[in-house]
Structure 1
Amino acid sequence: MSKALMSDHILQLEKELMTYTYDALNEHLAEDFIEFGSSGTIYTKQDQLVAWRKNDSTTSHSVSNFAINPLSAEIILATYETIRNDRRISLRSSIWKLNGTRWQMIFHQGTIKAV
């Protein structure tokens, strides 16, 4: 797969995770997923699934400056910025791993951008 097609695919997966559906989280987050949240809290896949059940948020994000950097044939680093509907801007990075035939996120970090 070309880098452009891979970039489109990983961006689509990132956007699916931003929909905050249980199925998307369960499918796209690897079992050993870890996130360093902008609050400084560390989250696991299980933490995210539990939080989903309590979430009544209507937060939406727009994505800009999306780029991927293949680290190997099976590992991709994605970097981008998001702007939430409350205008908060975050710098984000994710590591995706090819598990069998599907890409799953193994790491994510969001950092609030100083304005």
Structure 2
Amino acid sequence: MRSAVLDVNTSPDGSVVIQPHGSVGPDEAVELRQLLVHTVRRVRPLRLIVDLADVRDLDPINLGSVVAACYLGDDNQVAVFVHNPNRTVAAQLHAAGVPSQRVRLS
């Protein structure tokens, strides 16, 4: 059973949108990582969007999972984008090597 911290939707264009909410910390690390990997490797949408609009902060483990999902998407022909991170998270994603064209600020 998925927690209330993560919502998953499919948009009309077939993109899968994963929306974490609140403060995403170590308690959600396994669930977020498994969801990202399952979506990229098994569902294989053309585009995966991780929408961080409702995220106050993202701990280093979950930040690493989002970064790894970007590279895993490249290996599996799934375009992974991060939408609406706050400035701090956007800077952390950039420092971790996520290209700026993958991050869409609000």
* TM-score higher than 0.5: no
Larger radius of gyration: 1
Higher helix proportion: 2
Higher strand proportion: 1
Give the TM-score, by structure 2 length: 0.27
Give the TM-score, by structure 1 length: 0.25
